[in-house]
Structure 1
Amino acid sequence: MTTPLVKDRTYRSPMALVGGVLLLAIIGWLGIDALIRGHGRTPWLALAMMILLVPLVAAFTLRPAVFAGEDRLRIRNPFRVITLPWAEIAALRSGFSNEVVASSGAKYQLWAIPVSLRGRKRAARRTAKSEADAQRGRTAAAGPRSVGVGAGFRTVRDTDGAGGPVRAEADQIMDELRQLLESRSAAESARGEVTVRWAYEVAAPAVAGAVLLAILLAVG
């Protein structure tokens, strides 16, 4: 059995997973309570809302994932699954959102790797602090400085800090994907066609719930 050159990697948003579980728990609690204790049209309205909201919440929180393999990048977004061979990827871009650009020019957003502006600012602050600490260390290394202790003196020499710039987690993941793209884009096994599949298993229940809710509201 041939050992794969690249270990498969899966990327998901922990915050989205936590938020999705909490939202589903709230929807389930309120919905089931309305089904059991509601009167008149209330149970039907609660059922319609649950059929509508549960797939949508799961689609935008639990479903998104990015699977990076030896030959292909598979993106599972809320309503689509896109499979791109590495050879068909032109670029991986990071701006206000992370996206992959196919050789055809088509762009696909990476829902599972959201950009955090707060995370970037926090990383920038840590980088600035690290650089400032390193600068102070280099200044101290240029010559010892004396610090008074009682009637005598002792010599203090700071160590020189070493470390590169701090990167936000999403930016680190994008760097990993770019490294995979660079190393695998020329491989013969990484060639093929880009495929896009719509997630009807998510859209169909949501549409059914929306139709049922519209009927109930129209009937009054």
Structure 2
Amino acid sequence: MTTPDHPSPAPDAPEPRYNDRAYRSPSGIAGGVLLLAIVCWLGIDALVTGEGRTPWLALATMIMLVPLVAAFTLRPAVFADERRLRVRNPLRVVVLPWGAVETFRSGYSNEVVDTAGAKYQLWAVPVSLRARKRAARKEARGEAKGAAAARRGDPHLGRPGEAPAVPSRDMGAVATGPVRAHTDQIMDELRQLHESRAKDARSQGGATVRWAYEIVGPAAAGAVLLAALLAVG
């Protein structure tokens, strides 16, 4: 029996949990929906009104194109939780425990590099050079406004070395910090999550790669059927 002089030990504090995060490209999804609508519209029209081999050619083309369009526009996604990173690219699914991730790279494309040196592109997080330039211009304007406000002696800036008491509309990037493009913000989040979870015992293991046969199979079948129809003449 536990007495007041010997209290029972307090239970271990629960380990913090991280909500699963999913990242997709809204522009890619919108473009994919539009392309699929066009392909289906043209294909169904050819099936209904076409003559001779036209319906068969239309059917083979749809079987080949619909999976490919969906794979490169609707399918890409990046999922991150407390144990691993799952990258769903058009034709492959890559699962990387955080301990297997070496670094993230951002250039003309966003990539994750594992500890073995293999690189995997993040199709769901495309780089937008236009967005980067727009963010850089916005940050430069904010810094210029903040400097001008400081020269005017803006009371919101307070005395040197002190944080402003009230956010000023003229402070721009000074108040909000560096301005980053949306996809660069996503990469920053992934880097922070990697740094916090890489050494966790449950986040260890090797990378696994699986081909998306549900995409490759129908597309290949459609391509073979289309080639056969064209060869027959």
What TM-score results when the alignment is normalised by the length of structure 2?
0.85
Name the residue aligned to 1:53: 65
Pair 1:213-2:226 in alignment: yes
Mapped contact 1:130–1:163 kept (Cα < 8 A): no
**How far does residue 210 in structure 1 lie from its aligned partner after superposition?**
0.6
The equivalent residue for 2:121 is 109
Cα offset for 1:164? 1.4
Match of 2:215 among 194, 199, 202: 202
After TM superposition, list the pairs within 5 Å mapping 1:62-73 onto structure 2.
Answer: 62-73=74-85
Secondary structure, counterpart of 1:182 in structure 2: helix
Report the Cα offset of residue 125 of structure 1: 0.7
> Cα deviation per residue 1:33-89 (whole Å; 9 max; x = unaligned)?
000000011101100110010000000000000000110000000000000000010
Structure 2 residue runs of 5 or longer lacking an equivalent are 1-13, 156-167
Query: Where in structure 2 are the equivalents of 1:2-151 lying within 5 Å?
Result: 5-141=17-153
> For residues 15 and 64 of structure 2, what CA distance do their matches in structure 1 show?
44
In structure 2, distance between residues paired with 1:32 and 1:4: 52
Amino acid in structure 2 at the alignment position of 1:64: P
Q: 1:163, CA displacement in angstroms?
A: 2.8
Show the 5 A alignment for 1:134-173: 134-141=146-153, 161=171, 162-173=175-186
- Flag structure 1 segments of 5+ consecutive residues without an equivalent: 144-157
User: Structure 1 residues 84, 159: closer, same or farther in 2, change over 3 A?
Assistant: closer
Which amino acid counterpart does residue 84 of structure 2 have in structure 1? R
Counterpart amino acid of residue 28 in structure 1:
C
Whole-Å Cα distance in 2 between the matches of residues 159 and 68 of structure 1? 36
Is the CA contact 1:12–1:113 (under 8 Å) kept in the aligned structure 2? yes
Larger strand proportion of the pair = 1
Whether the aligned pair in 2 keeps the contact of 1:138 and 1:160 (CA below 8 Å) is no
* Secondary structure of 1:44 counterpart: helix
Number of equivalences: 205
Decide whether the 8 Å contact of 1:137 with 1:159 is kept in 2. no
Q: Which amino acid aligns with 1:216?
A: L
Inter-CA distance 160–55: structure 2 relative to 1 (3 Å threshold): closer
- Looking at structure 2, the residues matched to 159 and 172 of structure 1 have their Cα atoms a distance apart, in angstroms, of 23
Pairwise CA RMSD of aligned residues?
1.5
Does the C-alpha gap of structure 1 residues 214 and 159 become closer, same or farther in structure 2, counting only changes over 3 Å?
closer
Q: Distance in 2 between matches of 1:4 and 1:26?
A: 47
| 1:203 to 1:140, Cα distance in 2 relative to 1, 3 A | same
Match of 2:200 among 174, 183, 187: 187
Name the TM-score, length of structure 1 as normaliser. 0.90
User: In structure 1, the residue corresponding to 2:82 is in which secondary structure?
Assistant: coil
Residue aligned with 1:136, SS:
helix
**Corresponding letter in the other structure for 1:36:** V
Instruction: Give how far 1:193 is off.
Output: 1.8
